[in-house]
Amino acid sequence: MLNIDLHELQQHATPLYVYDLNLLRQTLQTAKTEAGKYNYHVHYALKANANAPILAEMLQHGFGADCVSGNEVKAALENGFGSEDVVFAGVGKSDAEINYALEQDIFCFNCESKQELEVLNELAEKKGKTARIALRINPNVNANTHKYITTGLEENKFGINAWELESVLELLAQLKSIELIGIHFHIGSQITDLTVFKNLCTRVNEFQDWFAARNIRLQHINVGGGLGVDYYHPEQQPIPDFAAYFGLFHQFLELKPGQQVHFELGRALVAQCGTLVSRVLYIKKGLSTNFAILDAGMTELIRPALYQSYHKIENLTSREPEERYDVVGPICESSDCFGKAVQLPETSRGDFIAISTAGAYGEVMASNYNLREKAKALYL
């Protein structure tokens, strides 16, 4: 249950993003402690939530920044992250984005295709710079998650396939403004089966041997992120099991002397600290279902509409006997639905509804479709 007084909620317009900074700090400290046991480097994925107070906490806890756009690189730097802690990934970096990152002398570009390598080399040469890169390799590991957030199979648009690596090395030998410092992997998001990460370790070890056999020394191994959270029981598991997560990599990842390991975590760090709070506009009685129509919609949290994701929904106001409701938003789309046949206390106009685990891919994916105003944020 959201830890906020209803009287205080009544002072704010809804929909409203509410962030529990104490829970965020506990989560970050736990992740920092467990990663620190093995001297692992954690970069926060700004795509999960790029709000300034969130970024300030990441910086305070010593995390780097994982960026997938030029504006994310800019946001990281403007919010205090050092350029030496910024990694720039993404399958479609524009020339303008690359040039900006080169000018800022960021730590590393995660490169995803041969043509990207050629473009990066050309732009770096024009600036008289050398771009540090990691090759994002597609390990063909199934993340066993939703197809929209699976990124490590050969059918996905991301990464360089194993059968391309020989030609990539031949190309790199010709590119004088690029320095290969590591390899990068990211197989998907919202992964809750840690066996998947064990399979990733096996593939990383195989690629490590492949490069070593060619006398190529890699300083950095970036295994991406993807650790999932418990959307069904957010109160029981508010903090992911970072000990098991980092411990698995320590157990199964075979490093060469002097190598550093990097992670890119987003959702696992911020998802549970955020809640979307909404008021009920109307209750619409039907023959087979009742509709609770909220003032929040897919413009504030698109995940349920985009890939039918589950978020726990609670009525903060009512304690009446329970009924079933389709909890929907006001947007003129049939997909604007947060949950069907949701068991809630008897719900009335004006009741406060909390939609949990909205700290990641909630506010950051908001839109003004239907010309809606952006919801405000409250930090507790």
pLDDT tens string for the chain (380 positions)? 677 888 889 999 999 999 999 999 999 999 999 999 999 999 999 999 999 999 999 999 999 999 999 999 999 999 999 999 999 999 999 999 999 999 999 999 999 999 999 999 999 999 999 999 999 998 877 555 544 444 444 556 678 888 889 999 999 999 999 999 999 999 888 999 999 999 999 999 999 999 999 999 999 999 999 999 999 999 999 999 999 999 999 999 999 999 999 999 999 999 999 999 999 999 998 778 899 999 999 999 999 999 889 999 999 998 888 899 999 999 999 999 999 999 999 999 999 999 999 999 999 999 999 999 999 999 99
Secondary structure of the chain in the HEC alphabet?
Answer: CCCCCHHHHCCCCCCEEEECHHHHHHHHHHHHHHHHCCCCEEEEEHHHCCCHHHHHHHHHCCCEEEECCHHHHHHHHHCCCCHHHEEECCCCCCHHHHHHHHHCCCCEEEECCHHHHHHHHHHHHHHCCCEEEEEEEECCCCCCCCHHHECCCCCCCCCEEHHHHHHHHHHHCCCCCEEEEEEECCCECCECCCHHHHHHHHHHHHHHHHHHCCCCCCCEEECCCCECCCCCCCCCCCCCCHHHHHHHHHHHCCCCCCCEEEEEECHHHHHHHEEEEEEEEEEEECCCCEEEEECCCCCCCCHHHHHCCCCCEEECCCCCCEEEEEEECCCCCCCCEEEEEEEEECCCCCCEEEECCCCCCCHHHCCCHHHCCCCEEEEC
Structural domains in the chain, CATH included, are 6-16+272-379 (2.40.37.10), 21-271 (3.20.20.10)
